[in-house]
């Protein structure tokens, strides 16, 4: 089973590809699909705070084998009326409302860089941020794709807190 975020149902070619990659028969593949602009899409978006914090750690050169636990949350964004706005609102949810707690074996080299507040565009609604690059997601600063607040506890060492939730930015984005 592979849940697919898309506004179109996956076809036979996708099922065949998944089956091949998984080493299973096509008849064993189930592909439930959901649009970003749906209640399911909004809930899934909010659940990505921990994933983005861990990804940000890795982008900053941290060995993911030294991550002992990650917990996080973010507000569930409103259901948008189109996929692009849903994607933007999902990012607003994590960048301005996400809170993550990491327990690590080793300290990170740049704990302040783990939170979205490290990005130059921080505070702008993601609709505006995406529009500024014609929705070319890959052109954006990776620091944007991080939780609003990250708390790091190093076993036998220090604790760090970077960033904080920004209710005003969420209110502006979800007007």
Specify the pLDDT at position 175: 82
In the predicted model, is pLDDT for residue 20 greater than 90?
yes
In terms of domains, do 125 and 99 share one? yes
In the predicted model, is pLDDT for residue 137 greater than 90?
no
Structural domains counted in the chain? 2
In terms of domains, do 13 and 44 share one? no
**Structural domain for 151, as ranges:** 36-173
* Own/partner pairs, 124-129, CB within 8 angstroms, 24+ separation: 124/169, 125/88, 125/92, 125/169, 125/172, 125/173, 126/87, 126/88, 126/89, 126/91, 126/92, 126/95, 126/173, 127/84, 127/85, 127/88, 127/89, 127/173, 129/88
Q: Tell me the average pLDDT of the chain.
A: 95
Q: What is the mean pLDDT of residues 139-168?
A: 96
In terms of domains, do 85 and 109 share one? yes
pLDDT in tens, 62-108: 999 999 999 999 999 999 999 999 999 999 999 999 999 999 999 99
Q: What is the mean pLDDT of residues 111-118?
A: 95
Q: What is the mean pLDDT of residues 56-61?
A: 95
């Amino acid at each position: 089973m592979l849940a697919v975020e898309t506004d179109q149902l996956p076809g036979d070619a996708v099922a065949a590809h998944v089956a091949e990659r998984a080493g299973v028969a096509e008849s064993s593949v189930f592909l439930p699909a959901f649009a970003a602009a749906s209640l399911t899409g909004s809930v899934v978006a909010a659940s990505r705070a921990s994933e983005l914090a861990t990804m940000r750690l890795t982008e900053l050169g941290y060995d993911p084998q030294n991550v002992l636990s990650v917990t996080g949350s973010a507000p569930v964004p409103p259901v948008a009326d189109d996929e692009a706005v849903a994607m933007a609102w999902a990012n607003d949810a994590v960048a301005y409302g996400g809170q993550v707690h990491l327990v690590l074996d080793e300290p990170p080299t740049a704990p302040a860089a783990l939170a979205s507040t490290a990005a130059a565009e921080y505070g702008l609604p993601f609709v505006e941020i995406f529009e500024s690059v014609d929705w070319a997601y890959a052109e954006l600063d990776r620091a944007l794709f991080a939780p609003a607040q990250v708390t790091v506890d190093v076993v036998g060492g220090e604790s760090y807190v970077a960033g904080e939730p920004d209710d005003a930015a969420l209110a502006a984005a979800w007007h």
